[in-house]
């Protein structure tokens, strides 16, 4: 779907700029986007200076078809305050803020059509994934527009209960950080095993990236791909005996994901 909507993006930081890059790559006209942010950060700069997206420090007095909220949850009240005069009856809102509920958004700007979404930063290279929930005011056209905007950075998974967005946050919203940390741990372990640090980091980065790419391209589930690496009684089995022990990675990952999910729910109350 070609996206012709006029878009107001509040917050051009890590996530806002990543999504914006995806829209431009999908053919959104930069003249149709205004990004409001008190500063122009590293990721946003080329989108403004080289690709012609409009930047403003304050919400301009114009009308927009969709407002995308990509500010920190703690800044949401302040970001919503100037929107009152900007929203027309046809405007709808997409929020990507972790934890911020639709009720909070409606408390700030009145009842409206809201899609609450949770993308992730691989959106920057068109390799993100987004979970999304639409409230009852979002009509078919709004949902199609939200789907097109969110799909610019990867697949969109719609959920039918708002609270599931907190669980999505725990898995895929925060998930890239777990994978980057895995690469850091793998590199550190390589150093402990005797490798020079820079070589260990190259091995770790390429292993994580290559395994990720294989997982996407292969029709096989991760479990089968894991088995393909694991020779009977070989080296991988020795490592997996550690990782798959009762107190190994599975319970640790579960605690981590639940901590992120619960933090999202707690953010809603701050």
Ligand X SMILES: NC(=O)C1=CN([C@@H]2O[C@H](COP(=O)(O)OP(=O)(O)OC[C@H]3O[C@@H](n4cnc5c(N)ncnc54)[C@H](OP(=O)(O)O)[C@@H]3O)[C@@H](O)[C@H]2O)C=CC1
Residue ranges of the binding site for NADP(+): 10-15, 70-73
Q: Which does 70 bind (CB under 5 to 8 A by kind): ligand X, ligand A1CAB, none?
A: ligand X
H-helix or E-strand containing 52? Answer: none
Count of residues interacting with ligand X (CB under 6 A): 27
For tokens 């697949």, the residue is 155
**Using CB under 6 A, which of 95, 135, 153, 169 touches ligand A1CAB?**
169
Map the footprint of ligand X across residues 198-257, applying CB under 6 A: none
**Least distance from ligand A1CAB to the Cβ atom of residue 173, Å:** 4
User: CB neighbours (10 Å) of residue 175?
Assistant: 19
Phi and psi for 99 in degrees, rounded to 5? 80, -35
Count of residues interacting with ligand A1CAB (CB under 6 A): 4
**Least distance from ligand A1CAB to the Cβ atom of residue 120, Å:** 7
Please, which residues have CB within 8 angstroms of residue 18's CB and are 6 or more apart in sequence?
A: 43, 119, 121, 123, 124, 128, 153
| Mask for 49-88, x = binds ligand X (CB under 6 A) | ---------------------xxxx-x--xx---------
Give the separation between CA 193 and CA 170, rounded to whole angstroms: 32
Please, which residues have CB within 8 angstroms of residue 108's CB and are 6 or more apart in sequence?
A: 76, 77, 80, 81, 83
**Using CB under 6 A, which of 22, 119, 154, 175 touches ligand X?**
119
Nearer to ligand X, 11 or 190 (CB): 11
Asked if residues 56 and 49 have their Cβ atoms less than 8 Å apart, the reply is: no
Buried b (16+ CB within 10 A) or exposed e, 12-51: bbbbbbbbbbbbbebebbbebbbbbbeebeebbeebbeee
Applying CB under 6 A, does 170 fall inside the site for ligand X? no
Tokens of 31: 């003249």
**Using CB under 6 A, which of 11, 142, 173, 190 touches ligand A1CAB?**
173
Q: Which residues of the chain form contacts with ligand X (CB under 6 A)?
A: 10-16, 36-39, 41, 70-73, 75, 78-79, 96-98, 118-121, 173
Q: Which residues of the chain form contacts with ligand A1CAB (CB under 6 A)?
A: 98, 169, 173-174
């Amino acid at each position: 779907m070609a996206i012709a909507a006029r878009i107001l993006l509040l917050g051009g930081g890590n996530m806002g700029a990543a999504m914006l890059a995806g829209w431009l790559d999908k053919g959104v006209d930069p003249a149709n986007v205004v990004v409001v942010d008190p500063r122009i950060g590293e990721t946003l700069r080329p989108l403004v200076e080289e690709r012609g997206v409009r930047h403003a420090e304050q919400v301009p007095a114009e009308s927009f078809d969709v407002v995308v909220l990509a500010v920190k949850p703690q800044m949401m009240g302040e970001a919503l305050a100037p929107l009152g005069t900007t929203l027309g009856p046809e405007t709808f809102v997409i929020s990507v803020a972790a934890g911020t509920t639709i009720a909070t958004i409606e408390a700030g700007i009145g009842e409206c059509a809201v899609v609450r979404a949770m993308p992730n930063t691989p959106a920057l290279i068109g390799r993100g994934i987004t979970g999304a929930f639409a409230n009852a005011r979002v009509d078919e056209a709004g949902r199609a527009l939200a789907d097109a905007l969110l799909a610019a950075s990867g697949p969109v998974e719609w959920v039918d209960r708002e609270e599931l967005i907190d669980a999505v946050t725990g898995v895929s919203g925060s998930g890239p950080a777990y994978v980057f940390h895995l690469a850091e741990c793998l590199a550190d372990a390589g150093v402990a095993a005797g490798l020079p640090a820079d070589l260990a980091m190259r091995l770790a980065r390429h292993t994580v990236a290559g395994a990720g790419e294989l997982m996407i391209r292969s029709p096989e589930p991760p479990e089968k791909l894991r088995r393909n690496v694991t020779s009977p009684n070989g080296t991988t089995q020795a490592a997996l005996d550690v990782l798959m022990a009762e107190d190994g990675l599975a319970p640790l990952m579960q605690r981590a994901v639940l901590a992120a999910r619960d933090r999202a729910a707690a953010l809603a109350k701050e």
